[in-house]
Each structure stands twice: as structure tokens, then as C-alpha cells.
Amino acid sequence: MNLDHYRSLALRRDGRVLHVSFNRPEALNAFDTAMHDELERLLGELPRDDATHVVVLTGAGKAFSAGGDVEQMQRLVDRPSLMVPDATMAKRLVMGLLDVPQPVIAKVNGAAMGLGATLALFCDVIFAANHAKIADPHVKVGFVAGDGGAVIWPQLIGYARAKQYLLTGDAITGEEAAAIGLVNFALPAEELDAAVDAWAQRMAGGARRAIQWTKATINVGLKQIAASVMDAGMAYELLSNQTRDHAEAVAAFRAKRAPDFSGD
């Protein structure tokens, strides 16, 4: 794997551990097409990368990932036909995380929103800074939570709590997320790097094939759920892209004002 071929992702090796950072700190690591493409390419390369035994996924700067890029949302409102490839890419990213053989550790160093939260929660072990905000605020922008949130939140915290957060878009801190089982560990920000590094090195020194095949076994059922739920979720998200409320939410976000939802 040539680490220099990536721009929207920053890659570095630490022995058998590959550290991957979303690398758009000026946009709080929100996903644009380039970052989508590079992450999908990386997930396709990792199964053939014998040098990497463990992956650590995080964000450059003060956020893990703010999720969807608002300018991309506006383009999708203006040209709904662009939504189809955008929707299928989200499913490929989720399935890619589940299929990649190496264990992936999420280091949630700051805000993880929407797709950013989804990708963090589909990782195999999740560390979060106590202050980090985690949310799937799709409904707040008039969107259906179709890109994976409706899959993974119920699996981690149950349907009742998942509905509480997915139907409101409310955020919780890393500390609160650990208390309800949404993430594995929450730590003070200054302790996060050392804790993740220690866990990554522990896994990198383990029985690689046993760890990889255990992950594969656990993920059989989760992939079945993800495949079926995401097909429905992305179809509903495509529909919600054409609603007045979504167009109003995007316009309000760009104008830095509160949206005025009509229910249409």
C-alpha cells in the first residue's frame, strides 16, 4: 500500500498498526466526494496489506467527523439524481468496515456526527474522549438516518434508546455514550492517545488470524442486518432528499438560522 497516494486521509504506520485520520480539519472532517472515494479505496486495499494487523481510525484537528458536507447536501437538493451514487457509496463504506479483516479501533477525539458517528460505531472497538459529542442528527436536516445509523445504534444500545436519539438527533458526550454501551471506553482527552496506542499494540501482538476470523464470525449476523436495513434506509433517504423540509433545513443551515419545518 502506497500511503502517499492519499490526500483526504492522512496515513502513518507504527509497526503493525496503521493510523488513518480523516484529513479535512478545516471542514471538521465532513465527508465530501474525495474523502468518500479515498476511504472506500483504503478499505479495498487493506485486505491485501499484510503489513497492517490493526487499524486506528480518527480525525485530524478537533473533530472525528462532522458527517455530511452541507455544500454536497445543497448539490443533492438541486440535482436529486446525484443522490443515487451518493447513497450506494455509504453502504459500501459500512460493508467495507465490516469486511476488512483487520480489527479497526475508532479514536473519537471530538465531534462524530451523522455518517461520522456511523463509521465510528461500526468499528470493532471504540474509544472516545469524555467531551466528544456523538449524534446522528439526520432528522434535524430533514433527512432519514439511512446511511447506517438505523442499523448500528439499535444493535449497541437497544431499540428504545436508539429511537430516542435517532428520532430527535440529540447528541451525547463520550462519557454518556460509554455509560449506555454505545462506545467501549471514554477517557479524558489527554489520556486518549496513550490508551488507544496501548490497545492497538496489544491487538497487533496477538494471534492475528484468530483475531481476524473471530471478527469475521461476529460480523456475519451484523452484515445480514446491515444489508437489509440499509437498502430500505437509503431508499427512504432518497425520498427525504426531495422533501421541502430537507431543502428548508439545508438553506437554514447555510444561512445560520433555525429551520422552519412545514411537515412536507
Q: How far apart are CA 225 and CA 222, in angstroms?
A: 5
Q: How far apart are CA 53 and CA 65, in angstroms?
A: 24
Could you tell me the pTM of the whole model?
A: 0.94
Per-run averaged pLDDT (10 residues), the chain, 264 residues: 90 97 96 93 96 98 91 81 74 96 98 97 98 96 93 98 98 98 98 98 98 98 94 90 92 92 92
Q: Are 225 and 45 in contact (CB under 8 A)?
A: no
How is the beta sheet containing 133-135 ordered, strand by strand? 63-65, 111-113, 133-135, 172-173
Burial 161-172 (b: 16+ CB within 10 A, else e): ebeebbeebebb
Pairing of strands 133-135, 111-113: parallel
Q: How far apart are CA 27 and CA 5, in angstroms?
A: 21
pLDDT, tens only, 27-47:
999 998 899 999 999 999 999
Q: Which residue segments constitute the domains of the chain, with CATH numbers given?
A: 3-204 (3.90.226.10)
How is residue 223 written as a grid cell?
452484515
